[in-house]
Structure 1
């Protein structure tokens, strides 16, 4: 393009100095300017298309990376959720087992207390019966002690 501008300057100067200058020479040069402009426009358009394609490729790569990162994060979340669920289940089972042991222990203690209570009542009745029999024997044998 600079060569054409230089040529245009040269022809402009020549047209001012030479009375026999042919104006079609400048027209031919203007056609070369037009051709050169189209070439520059086509090159700029190609460069723009290339940049658009590179931007689309970069965008696609970024989307793929984001998708991969999201998939990894979701996988990690699922593993965390499964581990948390497993731990919760194990803790719940442990609590249920502890509660069941406490219930069995309570039942056993209730039975033991019931048996001990019955034995205490039997012993008290036996003691009272023995005291009554002893007192009755004392009364029937005539050995009443004055009070």
Structure 2
């Protein structure tokens, strides 16, 4: 379930079309002070990430929130299960592997003791796409 305060935050930011530094601070220090609580919150924040422009601080905070949720708030702690890796890689891949999506995947890889192959496949596809884009330019 999506927390009402987070829903209001997302609606407000979507309306303006931009996540400001003040929005990021409010999200981190007030709305999600205890972290992300559900997959739907992750999906909603990632959808917002794809839909609006954002201050530089947004990517760092979004990455930390998602990494903490996947690695430390899900069982087993410190590892990413196959189910979580498949779900997250699917969500991250919507609209292609964005810089924030790739940073989240790499952040999880750095923080977790074990990561299922589904997330590693996402990273490899993202790297391949980046190489192909560079070759085409």
Could you state the TM-score of these two structures normalised by the residue count of structure 2?
A: 0.22
* Larger-Rg structure: 1
- Structure with greater helix share of residues: 1
Higher relative contact order (CA 8 A, sep 6+): 2
